[in-house]
Amino acid sequence: MSWDAIAAIGQAVSALALVIVLVQIRNAREEAQRSVGQARLFGSRDLFLVTATHPELASALTRLRDASGSAPVAFEDFATSLGLSNVEARQVSAFQSALWQNFQASIESAGRLTPGVRAELHNRLRYNYQQNRAFARWWELSKPNLNPNAVRYVDAVLAGTVG
């Protein structure tokens, strides 16, 4: 074997190694982005759950909002029109926001879900945002402020165009 042949083999191996390293870097970057997104969603969810599960905080936030002259979230107006107190409406709204954060995390990874888990997600989305009238109202009032990609996904599930 000549030195030229050995050099050519060495160059080919080096090029292959470089391609492998570049693929690994891309995968690591994608995983880091996914991780950061999940942490953000779960952090938001946890903050909403604090309001949903602590009536004292919900009451303080409601009093502060009212004292400052800020308008309530549209869903809170809807909930109070059905007989909930301002604090209860704020808690239910916070609970729905936390639930949305959980759904959004699943939607962002929908392509990697098993068919059974994806079917369960779709069933829950249909129940929450189509069959349950109160929560469907939350969906309609809130979706202009939600992640547009996730909103399109849910709308497609509700329309039956995503299986």
Overall domain count for the chain: 1
**Per-residue pLDDT, 140:** 95
Spell out the per-residue pLDDT of the chain, length 163, in tens: 687 777 778 888 888 888 888 888 887 777 766 665 566 656 666 766 777 788 888 888 889 888 999 988 899 999 999 999 999 999 999 999 999 998 998 898 888 889 999 999 999 999 999 999 999 999 999 999 999 999 999 999 999 998 6
**Per-residue pLDDT, 58:** 87
**Per-residue pLDDT, 36:** 55
**Per-residue pLDDT, 81:** 95
Region class of 83: left (phi > 0), else alpha (psi between -120 and 50), else beta: left
Collect all residues with Cβ–Cβ distance below 8 Å to 154 and sequence separation of at least 6: 103, 107, 125, 129, 139, 143
Handedness of CA 95, 99, 102, 108 (dihedral sign): negative
CA distances for 15 relative to 3, 12, 43, 90, angstroms: 18, 5, 42, 59
Helix axis angle, 148-159 to 86-108, nearest 10°: 90
* pTM exceeds 0.75 for this model: no
**Per-residue pLDDT, 152:** 96
Domain that holds residue 104: 3-159
Q: Tokens 């470089």, residue?
A: 18
Does residue 109 contact residue 118 with C-beta atoms inside 8 Å? no
